[in-house]
Amino acid sequence: MIPQNHFLILGAVLFAMGLYGALTRRTAIGILMSIELILNAANINLITFNKFIGSEALGQVFALFVMAIAAASAVIGLVLVIAVYRNMKTIFTEKMNILKW
């Protein structure tokens, strides 16, 4: 049986990759994809702890919730990206600074 640590390491690696992507990607879509990675890392952790500690399927239910919210937030994010692109002809986040002081 695969020990719990492997799962946690996978989640941490996924989280690190997501964070790295979110911090370094120039396009808004890349950042959105990285955030999805972070959410997946959180899901793996939820399921892992449910499997090894919990008795009921509470963690899995939460993971389902997170996936639903991730889908919704991805929609919102993509819509925003499209709206920004229409106005500014770019999706590079460093160009999106019109709200700066």
Q: Would you tell me which residues interact with another protein (CB under 8 A)?
A: 19, 22-25, 31, 93-94, 96-97, 99-101
| Cβ closest to another protein, residue 30 vs residue 60 | 30
As given in the structure block, the two tokens for residue 64 are 């389902």
Q: How far is the CB of 25 from another protein (least distance, A)?
A: 8
Q: In the chain, what is the straight-line distance between the N-terminal and C-terminal CA atoms, in Å?
A: 56
Q: How far is the CB of 28 from another protein (least distance, A)?
A: 8
On the CB side of 13, CA atoms within 13 Å amount to: 6
Chain-centre distance for alpha carbon 54: 24
| Cβ closest to another protein, residue 53 vs residue 98 | 98
